[in-house]
């Protein structure tokens, strides 16, 4: 692995990898969040500013247009009333044209519904459809007011333009006729001004978002770079490179963090080396003591065997002492053998003698060896081994594993039945042992494999266990490339699952047996087992496989 490899910027990575960058990179989340929040803020600020500018520009133009329209309406009214009543209809177009100011506004004059005329006058090529119907309704309903509204001004043969329409009524005093006059002010200049302001706001907003993103990236880089360096150094320390340290630059908080990290790494290095030395001395001590004890133990065993063979010639008290001596020597030899086996694992000297075997045959031998203990405990065994379970294993070590698992299950079964299951798939073979005894807590599932650990140290032992059985079983399973799992629940017993590769070139990816027993959700109080769907046969104390 290249410890010095730097993460690539997200713009250089494939889009499919962006979600992974989002999950792993604090810098990417901060920069993205800053860009999103700044964009939202700028959109809101731009909308408010644009609304205010638009209202200001349009309101200013509306005020000036109303004043201009009022003045022109007065002049047009005076001109109409001063004209000859007999020729007013013929001169109406001339009067309208005289009140128009080209480029500033156009005029549309149309008769009211009560005037009886259909003549419509307009200037500048403007179409009468430019006057909204709502404005016409307002003007026709009241002759004393000016009404205005924003509209779209349509021209003959030209593009339409935004505009402001202001209307009112004109009355001819001599004839009593009334006309509606509309002044159409184009807002092209105001629209251009608003377009310029909008482009300026958009450009400034985009630049500001980019600058904020760059600032966020630079600021977070100052913080994230030391954190990434600490992560890489931590990975190197975890890989065993205990001499790695962080670079310290400056005296700020990050520099003090680097100093503290380096001190922690130095302390860890010292402690690890001290523990390694202690562990090495401990392994050497266990190995040396185990080997040195074999010679005197052999001599004591020979003497004890002579005494045991002649025990019938002793008085009852001496005979009992000889039997106790024999039993304790047996336990001492088991402990010594376990210590020697542990020392071999610690030294890396353990090796496998592989052969193709059926795990069911090993289970049968182990149960036969525990026949006396099963009879004494009154423990019933149920087997779920429907099919051959073959694998290339070291049968001696696998038998030792199963001897520990089955012996512990019988010992802690409290007289309740135990269940032994086997299963295979294409790559793995598994054996599971289930009892319904005292069990253990979930947090003790890993501790059961610790050396000399016992779930209940005060419990009376009938099998003379050394406390090393499960730790040796775990090492044997690992030596095969397999695994040994434990599950337990107080009052609901324990469940151990041994999973082994069927061939030495196979890497385990699962197990054909579940990690938890099927009846794990309830406490078994009756002398029966829940059928898990596989056929099994029942063994009593006197039956044989």
CA distance 119 to 357: 114
Backbone angles phi, psi at 120, to 5 degrees: -120, 130
- 413 with 502, same domain? yes
- 324 with 285, same domain? yes
Convert the pLDDT of each residue in 283-293 to its tens digit: 677 667 767 77
What's the pLDDT score for residue 346?
Answer: 66
Convert the pLDDT of each residue in 360-385 to its tens digit: 999 999 998 888 888 888 888 889 99
What's the pLDDT score for residue 460?
Answer: 46
What's the pLDDT score for residue 89?
Answer: 62
- 272 with 210, same domain? no
CA distance 106 to 99: 9
Say which CATH number the domain at 176 has.
3.30.450.20
What's the pLDDT score for residue 392?
Answer: 92
Convert the pLDDT of each residue in 105-153 to its tens digit: 888 888 776 555 556 777 777 888 888 888 888 888 887 788 999 999 8
Burial category of 542 from C-beta neighbours within 10 Å (exposed 0-12, middle 13-18, buried 19 and up): exposed
What's the pLDDT score for residue 374?
Answer: 86
pTM of the model: 0.46
- Domain termination residue (choose one: 244, 263, 298): 244
What's the pLDDT score for residue 457?
Answer: 52
Residues of the chain with pLDDT under 70: 1-24, 84-93, 98-102, 113-119, 283, 286-287, 290, 346-349, 452-466, 521-545
Give the chain's domain count: 3
- 446 with 332, same domain? no
Strand positions, DSSP E, 370-417: 381-384, 390-393
What's the pLDDT score for residue 520?
Answer: 72
What's the pLDDT score for residue 525?
Answer: 32
Question: Closest Cα partner for 136 from 162, 169, 158?
Answer: 169
Q: Domain range holding 453? A: 355-539
Question: What is the distance in angstroms between the CA of the first residue and the CA of the last residue of the chain?
Answer: 53
- 143 with 65, same domain? yes
**Residue 544: inside a domain, yes or no?**
no
**Residue 71: inside a domain, yes or no?**
yes
């Amino acid at each position: 692995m290249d410890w010095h490899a730097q993460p690539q910027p997200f713009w250089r990575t494939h889009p499919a990898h962006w979600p992974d960058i989002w999950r792993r990179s604090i810098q990417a989340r901060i920069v993205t969040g800053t860009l999103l929040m700044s964009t939202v803020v700028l959109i809101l600020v731009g909308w408010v500013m644009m609304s205010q500018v638009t209202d200001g520009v349009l309101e200013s133009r509306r005020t000036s247009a109303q004043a201009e329209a009022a003045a022109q309406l007065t002049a047009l009214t005076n001109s109409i009333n001063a004209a000859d009543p007999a020729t007013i209809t013929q001169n109406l177009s001339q009067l309208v044209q005289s009140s128009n100011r080209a480029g500033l506004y156009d005029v549309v004059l149309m008769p009211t519904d009560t005037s009886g005329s259909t003549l419509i006058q307009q200037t500048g090529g403007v179409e009468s459809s430019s006057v909204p119907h709502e404005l016409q309704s307002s003007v026709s309903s009241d002759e004393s007011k000016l009404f205005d509204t924003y509209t779209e001004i349509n021209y003959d043969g030209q593009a339409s333009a935004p505009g402001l329409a202001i209307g009112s009524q004109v009355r001819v005093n001599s004839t009593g006729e009334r006309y509606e006059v509309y002044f159409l002010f184009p807002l092209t200049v105001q629209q251009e001004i608003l377009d310029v302001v909008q482009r300026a706001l958009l450009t400034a907003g985009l630049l500001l978002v980019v600058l904020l993103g760059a600032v966020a990236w630079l600021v977070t880089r100052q913080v994230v770079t030391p954190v990434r360096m600490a992560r890489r150094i931590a990975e190197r320390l975890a890989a065993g490179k205990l001499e790695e340290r962080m670079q310290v630059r400056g005296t700020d908080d990050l520099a003090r963090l680097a100093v503290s990290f380096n001190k922690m790494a130095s302390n860890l290095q010292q402690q690890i080396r001290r523990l390694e030395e202690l562990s090495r001395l401990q392994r050497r001590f266990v190995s040396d003591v185990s080997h040195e004890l074999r010679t005197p133990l052999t001599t004591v065993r020979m003497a004890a065997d002579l005494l045991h063979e002649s025990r019938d010639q002793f008085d009852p008290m001496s005979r009992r002492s000889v039997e106790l001596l024999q039993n304790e020597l047996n336990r001492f030899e088991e402990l010594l053998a376990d210590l020697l086996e542990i020392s071999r694992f610690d030294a890396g000297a353990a090796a496998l003698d592989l052969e193709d075997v059926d795990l069911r045959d090993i289970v049968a031998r182990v149960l036969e060896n525990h026949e006396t203990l099963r009879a004494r405990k009154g423990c019933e065994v149920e087997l779920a081994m429907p099919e051959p379970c073959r694998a290339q294993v070291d049968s001696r070590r696998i038998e030792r594993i199963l001897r520990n698992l089955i012996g512990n299950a019988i010992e802690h079964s409290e007289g309740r039945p135990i269940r032994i299951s086997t299963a295979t798939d294409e790559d793995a073979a598994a054996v599971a042992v289930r009892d319904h005894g005292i069990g253990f807590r979930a947090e003790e599932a890993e501790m059961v494999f610790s050396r000399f650990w016992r779930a209940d140290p005060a419990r009376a032992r009938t099998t003379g266990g050394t406390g090393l059985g499960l730790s040796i079983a775990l090492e044997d399973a690992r030596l095969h490339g397999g695994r040994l799992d434990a599950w337990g629940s107080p009052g609901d017993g324990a469940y151990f699952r041994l999973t082994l590769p069927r061939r030495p070139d196979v890497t385990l990816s699962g197990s054909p047996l579940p990690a938890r027993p099927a009846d794990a959700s309830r406490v078994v109080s009756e002398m029966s087992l829940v059928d898990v769907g596989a056929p099994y046969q029942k063994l009593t104390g006197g039956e044989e496989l």
